[in-house]
A and B are shown apart, each in its own frame.
Chain A
Amino acid sequence: MDHNVNQESINVQELIQQKSMSQKVSHKIGKMIPSILFLFAAVSILTTVGIIYTLLSEAIEFFKIVPIWEFFSSTTLKPLSQNPEFGILPLINGTIISSIIAILVAGPVGLMAAVYLSEYASDRVRRLLKPTLEVLAGIPTVVYGFFAFTFVTPIIRSVWPDVEATNILSPGIVMGIMIIPMIASLSEDALTSVPNTIREGALSLGATKLETTFKVVIPAALSGVIASFVLAISRAIGETMIVTIASGSSKNFTFDITESMQTMTAYIVEVSSGDAAAGTPIYYSIYAVAIALFVMTFVMNLLARAISRRFREEY
């Protein structure tokens, strides 16, 4: 406004009026802001409503064609045959078996890594190792799928020739590797939050570090450790690309880990990428499967939160 100073007529009144006008406008904007921002926050609620509504409304169409009890109790899944049969049990079976393999790999390794990072490692080592583990968590799952299919499966087959080219074992193991960082980092948080006085008490009684860790620290942090396992399983249940690529699409109800099995997620991928025409039973079936998947992961997540809240020891 410097150039105004030299001009002869500065209308102060006008300036004040302008200022108060602009203040009024900005006051009005300020009043509108919270409601606009609320709409953004409401998007998250709408997303949940959207997910539940779409899944339910289409699944209800499906259950008009296939009785709900048949869907959840039948072990035959033949969506493409002349007389299609829809039983979800083979998919649930595949999902559970792959998740069990994953947690058998990731549980021990992840927990031991958490123990090392929180109890043994020096600050410098921890600061070096933790980010590296997190890189593992940041790798896209399709890359893990590639790794399972072109690297892990051939290795398993060279030691164990019975294993088929697509099998549930290899993606299970790779999925385990994928969730190691999750277990390691969440369990480490739980272990680190155990106060040092407890450790010192055990050590001063003559326990070795190993005994302190397994008899004192881990029991004290148990809720957090279990919660990390449950969250990791939930993640494995929802994992899609690794199993889709490396486990094939066999819909047999079997417990043989050398065979191909299909998970719920892989079924959804197979059907939706196969141009299933809208309105056919096979099209609606993915919504029914998705509901089962959604409920399973949702319950696991709630469980994890309940465990870590209920059994948390306060120090």
Chain B
Amino acid sequence: MKYIDSSLVEKRMNKRILKNNLSKILFLLATLFGLVVLVILIMRVLIEGLKWVNFDFLTGKLSTNAEQAGIMGAILGSLWLMLVVIVCTMIIGVGAAIYLELYAKKGKLNSLIQTNIANLAGVPSIVYGILGMTLFVRALDLGNIVLAGGLTLSLLVLPIVIVAAQEALRSVPNSLSEASYGMGATKWQTIKRIILPAALPGILTGAILALSRAIGETAPLVVIGIPALIIPFPGSIFDKFTTLPMQIYYWTLDSSLVAEYANLAAATIIVLLILLFMLNATAIFIRNKYQQRF
């Protein structure tokens, strides 16, 4: 007498195993979906824009005439903006991280600041734009210049920099700072000469990633009020400016009026993506080359 009907078991098992194997393929496809979209997106941009990327386009001035339009002004605007953002976030972000990690006493104030930073990271970028417009452009009366845009974007990415710098500082082992104290160094000397250098690669990686977030932002700048067409190139942080994402935005919007604007937008996207790629490659390079394992 058989207690187990093996044919029945096999029938049921086969079904379950088949389901299992099919779902594995489905899950793989879902994972690859993102990759496929990425490839399509990049292909699409290259097909539309690659022909338009040439020396005249990169060095020329903005123009309503699609054939003559160049994006030198937008490139310079983005670079000036990067300068303001990197200076502000490195000083304020790293300073705040040092305070929170190494000086602040664990208590209510510290956890309030920490929670606050976590919450700020979730605030939509356009809200920062409104803050920037109200505070920097109108109240401080800076106007829509590089400095105002840079300060706004700095506030936007500051939480990212602070969190990354805190993690980098935390990963420096205590034995290093204890050795420094043991040699008679003060706290600030220890931080300046031992902890900061050891944490620097991690801090820089985080700062560069935050910078690449800032450089791709459009919404806060639209709110601040960057006009569509600026002919003179920005020469300092007090000049009016436009950026690569802003040009992509305006050209995409107007592509239903002038078909060539879509090509200009695509060409500008290529330039922006190359810039972002270089930033990220630098971050990865720093992380791999200088990051010490303790």
Contacts and interface: CB of A to CB of B under 8 A. Distances in A.
Interface of A: 26-27, 29-30, 33-34, 36-45, 47-48, 50-51, 54-55, 58, 108-110, 112-113, 115-117, 120-121, 129, 132-133, 135-136, 138-143, 145-147, 149-151, 165, 177, 180-181, 184, 208-211, 231, 234, 237-241, 244-245, 265, 268-269, 272-273, 275, 278, 286-287, 290, 293-294, 297-298, 300-302, 305
26 contacts: A33-B188, A37-B99, A40-B99, A41-B96, A48-B119, A50-B131, A112-B30, A116-B27, A133-B34, A138-B280, A140-B245, A145-B252, A209-B20, A237-B124, A238-B123, A238-B124, A239-B124, A241-B219, A265-B126, A269-B222, A272-B129, A273-B222, A293-B126, A301-B119, A302-B119, A305-B118
Interface in B264-282: 265-266, 269, 272-273, 276, 280
B31 A40 contact: no
Interface string B87-123: 0000111011011100110000000110011111011
Given A143-B272, A165-B256, 4 more contacts: A51-B123, A208-B17, A234-B122, A294-B123
A96 B225 CA distance: 27
B37 interface: yes
Contact of B123 (A41, A150, A240, A297): A297
Contact of B38 (A38, A48, A135, A140): A135
Contacts of A237: 124
B96 A208 contact: no
Interface residues of B, number: 85
Contacts of B118: 305
Interface in B217-260: 217-219, 222-223, 225, 245, 248-249, 252-253, 255-256
A103 B76 CA distance: 37
B223 A268 contact: yes
B253 A245 contact: yes
Nearest to B110: A41
Q: With a 10 A CB-CB cut-off, give which of A29, A41, A116 has the most chain B CB atoms.
A: A41
Contacts of A245: 249, 252-253
Interface in B130-164: 130-131, 133-135, 138, 155, 158-159, 162
B292 interface: no
Contact of B249 (A115, A132, A145, A181): A145
Given A165-B256, A240-B219, A43 B96 contact: yes
B273 A143 contact: yes
B87 to A, nearest CB: 13
A217 to B, nearest CB: 13
A40 B91 contact: yes
A12 B137 CA distance: 58
A28 to B, nearest CB: 11
Nearest to B191: A33
A115 B25 CA distance: 12
Nearest to B113: A41
Interface string B18-37: 01100110111011111101
Contacts of A231: 122
A132 B255 CA distance: 30
Nearest to A151: B44
B216 interface: yes
B167 interface: no
Contacts of A115: 27
Contacts, number: 251
A199 B113 CA distance: 39
A290 B127 contact: yes
A145 B248 CA distance: 9
B37 to A, nearest CB: 5
B64 interface: no
B126 A269 contact: yes
A38 B103 contact: yes
B38 A37 contact: no
B4 interface: no
Nearest to A143: B269
Given A37-B103, A210-B20, A273-B223, A113 B30 contact: yes
B183 interface: no
Contacts of B188: 26, 29-30, 33
In the A-B complex, the 4 residue pairs with the smallest Cβ-Cβ separation, listed nearest first, are A238-B124, A140-B216, A40-B95, A112-B30
Given A44-B159, A143-B269, A208-B16, A265 B124 contact: yes
B129 to A, nearest CB: 8
B265 to A, nearest CB: 6
A116 B30 contact: yes
Given A116-B27, A273-B225, A301-B119, A109 B33 contact: yes
A234 B223 CA distance: 20
Interface string B25-63: 011101111110110110011001000000000000000
B92 A146 contact: no
B68 interface: no
Nearest to A121: B31
A177 B37 contact: yes
Contacts of A180: 33-34
Contacts of A112: 26-27, 30-31
B125 interface: yes
Contacts of A29: 188
B203 interface: no
Interface string B191-222: 00000000000000000000011001111001
Nearest to B156: A47
A150 B252 contact: yes
